[in-house]
A and B are shown apart, each in its own frame.
Chain A
């Protein structure tokens, strides 16, 4: 992640068209050696096609892909220094676990003794030590995925490609595998490129995320930057939950700005936007950045904020929906204009959910550095 990071994969102006459908549209991005890179996007956005082009199963219509500085044009999948973990795992059903893992090594002409050692080492790495003699149909989905992982890692590829690696696992196992994959990646130091449509998965595992929308890179950023500084409405909406208000930029100075959003009112920011005055912009505001006042608290907060008029934004409304999720409670609040706003509130004590009920009139505030102004 440093400035000196060396790109192991360079995707340069790559497009892929299937007939009239453009799956990948002029994508350029670099993936650095040793990082855990995630391609995130909704289904059908072209992320899997991009991954398959790196593996060599699809050929770019335009542009080129370099792996470790070498142009991959004309190099078939079996000659590329990358290995892939397939969504269906693709564990060979007619071979034992050990034979599955040894498959690539045998083809590479590795000696018998070394094959045995490396297979055992790879199986230990994915916590399947001692499972070598089993057949794939005697293993669970999660275990088969580990076999697929071991089978790829044993080849010591420069890059490991993972296609929706956790989509077939149940929620608990998925959360556990997220940690294990990150741990594994740090341990082996191989570059991981993962494709997923699950934002939680992406945020928890990635060093950097490339959000793909309609075949184009919507944003390339670290997980926290992606969440806190989305660069457009698609990313703000796709990654996490968000309130989006349309408005006009009415004040834009170096240290403050205001956006007039019909139905919500003026939203103040404590930084400049550098957008044209009067331009149409969008405000993205995360539900957890909005603080809901318990009855009586609102006035005190407002009074305290009098000294810093631009420091806080206030709003009033009525609770129209509540959903208790255990750790947090989600509120849907209808403002006086009829506009709705989503607020989440952590349940810090065991009685917090009793503070509010339907149709309660409430006030809320959020800091002037919480809203994100989006120009597109």
Chain B
């Protein structure tokens, strides 16, 4: 039934512009233009738009159309076709990624907002205003739109690459297993032949010993092979983690913009630079001093006996640690002006107390109660 209906409709189909029907012209193809989505046959498009942009020939529609924008219809329902187009266009512009937002909540809000915009455009509500917003956003966020597009493209291709890699690995594994099976079979064969020939030639040799020996050789070989396999596996793991690192890097590279008028809740600052080299001291500068330069020797009669005390030194006692401590304590806090700093600190605390208000009042209330 369904196919019947479809074929009948096909046959009945008529170009709204030139009125020629499929019945007369079975090869007829219909095209649409996303400006107005009015359907017309290929020959009409050629005829009307080949010499440049022209108005849509459908009565009442005065949209200016260009030939290069005409394309085949994907969905039968022209409404769906239009919605998909709008969606694609909006998502192309509003292509913020989840990691660019402060919170899951902010990202969800963004997704909802994007759906609203799409719905507005589809159902023709506030079209002018919405379009203006979109244009403004696109102009202001060109950079971020482009980087996000690049990331998407890369993700798509790296997904492809990963699939290929996995297939390749599977193939290699299969091949390795097959090879291993082959070699093992061949070795067993060879070992057996060797064993038989030795048994045959050596009259005085203990048969059991030979058998044991042969078995041992086999074991050794297969364990060597296993460690080789292990090595390969590790290499592959390293390879995988390398590719992971590369993709991480590119993710770090893209920089998010500040809050735009349209999209809210974006993360304020992104770290655009690549990873800094690892600092074992995490930002501290060891042994840096402002008042003195630590020397490796200080004259002191009091310390002289220690310098010669073999037992103390053998235990690891180190006068340099003593120097380091005494010198530090000689100057640590020399320009901490307690009177000044403490009164300032107290003032700051009382200020914050005043602003914190309620919580502190409760606490002090508890104290006196």
> Do A and B interact with each other, yes or no?
no
A residues adjacent to B (C-beta < 8 A): none
